[in-house]
Structure 1
Amino acid sequence: MVKHETVKGNGKNNVISEEEAAQYDRQIRLWGLEAQKRLRGSRVLLVGLRGLGAEVAKNLILAGVKGLTLLDHEQVTEESRRAQFLIPVDADGQNQAQASLERAQFLNPMVEVKADTDQVETKSDDFFLQFDAVCLTGCSRDLMVRVDQLCASKNIKVFCGDIFGYHGYMFSDLGQEHHYVEEKAKVVKPSEQANDGPEVKKPKIDLNETTMVKKTASFCSLKEALEIDWTSDDSKARLKRTPPEYFLLQVLLKFRTDKGRNPDPCSFAEDSLLLLQIRDDVLEAMGVNPELLPDSFVSYCFSEMAPVCAVVGGVLGQEIVKALSQRDAPHRNFFFFDGLKGSGVVDYFGAK
């Protein structure tokens, strides 16, 4: 007979059975039962089932969220099928979310996985408010800003991400007060009876014992992060430390707004010229020298690269898990990945 334990997780009733405890044994040992309970009580909306979305879906399902809704209105194409592993080879022409459902559910039958074939722009505000976290991939800037502002008012965590060729990014907004715990090595204070001396009085760290430290982090909105005044003295001072991928993101979001799509390899020559023009217009409007983004960027931002999807999807999935389980320090609040360099950068663009 399977015994059940009813707990409170993310404001909702959560139940973990002995079967689930066995399934998630490794994770419970890693980040603790309470963190797994919070994760098990969370429902997540994932928008976009291309390469990045598939990676995020896999990571969330294996981690053991309560429910995951896959939302995508687009049809499977040869390009999208090659970019992700949840879609069967014979699914061309089918809806991407529906075609991904069977394999996604097979990853972990304990997670409630659903497919929604509606267009995300048609969804009402109430639709987003039923989730504990919303992850937006392949969406327009206006939609991401709208959803972020809506969810922030209801303390719903928001994540955004995209892959552009060799480049990828993620953004997180966990609200003004995101509470979490970190495991720290225990500091052993010197005994008062110990002999005097600087070496004796110096606190020691016991690596065999740890303690949980409660912390709070504050996040800025996506709108604030994208609308930095780069003409201010403070912003000018940090310009040299800002990764060029931040400005690349601005250019690509503007391209998507203008064209309603991403740069297409089938129209490489035309889209490359347009990207260069958008680069000049966007960066000059921001008060930034367009040379901060060299012309060569146009050669590396077409299509989805599967290895880049895996890296960024791993980071994005991990950040969602950390936020929902309230375990470990989250990224604040951008993560940029450059596949050409094989490196990622975390940066924060909110008010200090």
Structure 2
Amino acid sequence: MIDMIEKEETMISEEEAAQYDRQIRLWGLDAQKRLRASRVLLAGLGGLGAEIAKNLILAGVKGLTLLDHKQVSEESCRAQFLVPVSSQGQNRAQASLERAQNLNPMVEVHADPSAIQDKPDDFFLQFDAVVLTGCPRDLLLRLDLLCSQHSIKVFCGDVYGYYGYMFTNLGSQYHYVEEKPKVVKPSGDSADGPESKKTKVDPNETTMVKKVASFCSLKQALEVDWTSDQAKAALKKTPVDYFLLQVLLKFRTDKGRDPDPISFEEDSQTLRQIRDDLLEALCVSPSLLSDHCLSFCFSELSPVCAVVGGVLGQEVVKALSQRDAPHRNFFFFDACKGNGVVDYFGPN
């Protein structure tokens, strides 16, 4: 059964119906009502965070809280279109507020300049979905566990140069509906021959099918035992981006930041050392990740932010509206593969 969100002001006004007319036609009024009743926390207002914020605000969530304690830098102005160039030195969440709110006055947008690490557990329980960008691995694991225990949808994502990823955890029992072509049962009249008894699909009519999906935790997804027979069999179809993410998260933990173009040579050497040590510890060959591959994960690139932010934002919308099949669990984007190749990896 699809869980209906029962909250204040779930009714759609005439003004909102006009504003979201295209979306209501696309996924239905009930889905838009569920979206309209949802509050989302977005942590990290870099280039990726700006793209996600834009997509959620335009989709019409009830409220969006922008959480970021960092200041606007010259680099962030290149990839982050919500902050004015003149706002360097200001808090990124607060500097993004005006342009974010102007995207859709019907959405309550709030800016919180606090550090996410300083927030108590109760702070996160007021949201229907939590989107985490720019967070260290231990914090991602802690919040993923906390939110899943309280049926809060969790999304993680980041962009590293030409690479980007998204992870989704919607819980062990996520209910949604999917639109399928209507199946027409045979009439039972044998006069027309065997063909008349076959089940047919009517392309002009559709029906809503209720489905359930199960998601693993972030801890399970990251801490795979690659010595097991099942994991060894899955290794060939596992994108190398999965192991690159492990390296980049370890770099962030050790350095307290992401690889910086200003210290390219030093950071490249550190990345290579982390790769060798980490993949060896995972019993996976370090040759999976070439030095060339590691050289393209510096800084946030606007086009990559747009792609990953578009996918991540749409997944949040689908999850909150409970409409259409979600990704399970990882989405990887690699702009080095021609025009960009999308890889999926969902550990069971």
What TM-score does the superposition give when structure 2 sets the normalisation length? 0.97
Q: How many residues align?
A: 343
TM alignment of 1:318-333, pairs within 5 A: 318-333=314-329
Contact 2:157 2:167 in 1 (8 A): yes
Partner of residue 347, structure 1: 345
Residue aligning to 1:259: 255
Paired residue secondary structure (2:42) = strand
Partner amino acid, structure 2, of 1:184: K
Establish whether residue 51 from structure 1 lines up as the match of residue 44 from structure 2.
no
How far the C-alpha of 1:221 sits from its partner, in A, is 0.4
Does residue 315 in structure 1 map to residue 311 in structure 2? yes
Do 1:183 and 1:328's aligned partners in 2 also have CA atoms closer than 8 Å?
yes
- Alpha-carbon shift at residue 55 of structure 1 (Å): 0.3
Counterpart residue number, 2:142: 146
Output the aligned Cα RMSD: 1.1
Q: Could you tell me whether the CA contact under 8 Å between 1:189 and 1:204 is conserved in 2?
A: yes
Match runs of 1:89-108 below 5 Å = 89-108=85-104
Residue type at the aligned position of 2:316:
I
CA deviation after TM superposition for structure 1 residue 200, in Å: 2.9
The offset of 1:164, in angstroms, is: 0.5
Question: Do the aligned partners of residues 189 and 282 (structure 1) sit closer, same or farther apart at CA in structure 2, a change above 3 Å counting?
Answer: same
Cα distance in 2 for partners of 1:316, 1:199 equals: 45
In 1, distance between residues paired with 2:30 and 2:344?
28
Look up the equivalent residue of 2:32 and give its one-letter code: Q
Contact residue 173 and residue 213 of structure 2 kept, 8 A: yes
Q: Which amino acid in 2 is paired with 1:267?
A: S
Residue identity opposite 2:342 in structure 1: G
SS at match of 1:15: coil
Structure 1 CA distance for aligned equivalents of residues 240 and 332 of structure 2? 9
Aligned ranges for residues 111-122 of structure 1 at < 5 Å? Answer: 111-122=107-118
Q: Which residue in 1 is equivalent to 2:162?
A: 166
8 A contact 1:9–1:42 mirrored in 2:
no
Paired position in structure 2 for 1:190: 186
Contact 1:9 1:37 in 2 (8 A): no
- Secondary structure of the corresponding residue to residue 85 of structure 2: coil
In structure 1, the partner of 2:19 is: 23
Query: Secondary structure at the residue paired with 2:295?
Result: helix
Matches within 5 A, 1:1-352: 10-13=5-8, 14-195=10-191, 197-341=193-337, 342-350=340-348
Report deviation, 1:201. Answer: 2.6
Task: After superposition, give the CA deviation of every residue in 1:120-164 in whole Å (9 maximum; x if it has no partner).
Answer: 000000000000000000100000100010011110000000000
State the alpha-carbon separation in 1 of the partners of residues 176 and 140 from structure 2. 25
Instruction: List per-residue Cα deviations over 1:224-246 (Å, max 9, x = no partner).
Output: 10000000000000100000000
Q: Is the partner of 1:344 in helix, strand or coil?
A: strand
Q: Percent identity?
A: 73
Quick one: distance in 2 between partners of 1:177 and 1:163?
Answer: 29
Matched residue type, 2:239: P
Q: Which letter does structure 2 place at the counterpart of 1:63?
A: A
Task: For residue 275 of structure 2, give the secondary structure of its aligned residue in structure 1.
Answer: helix
Of 10-19 and 89-98, more deviation after overlay is shown by 10-19
In 2: Cα distance, 1:11 partner to 1:336 partner: 34
User: Whole-Å Cα distance in 2 between the matches of residues 87 and 77 of structure 1?
Assistant: 10
Deviations 1:66-105 (A, max 9, x none): 0000000000001001111101111110100000000000
* Greater Cα shift, 17-26 or 198-207: 198-207
Displacement after TM superposition at 1:9 (Å): 5.3
Q: Distance in 2 between matches of 1:15 and 1:190?
A: 41
| C-alpha displacement of 1:25 | 0.7
CA contact (8 A) 2:260 2:298 kept: yes
Report the CA distance between 1:109 and its aligned residue. 0.1
TM-score normalised by the chain length of structure 1? 0.96
SS of 1:90 mapped into structure 2: helix
Which residue is equivalent to 1:3?
none
| 1:301-344 deviation line (CA, Å, top 9, x unaligned) | 00011110000000000000000000000000100000112111
Distance in 2 between the 1:114 and 1:15 partners? 22
Deviation at 1:345, TM superposition (A): 1.3
Whether contact under 8 Å (1:167, 1:337) holds in the other structure is yes
Deviation for aligned residue 1:198 = 4.4
**Match of 1:288, SS?**
coil
In 1: Cα distance, 2:174 partner to 2:94 partner: 34
Distance 1:123 1:268 in 2: 33
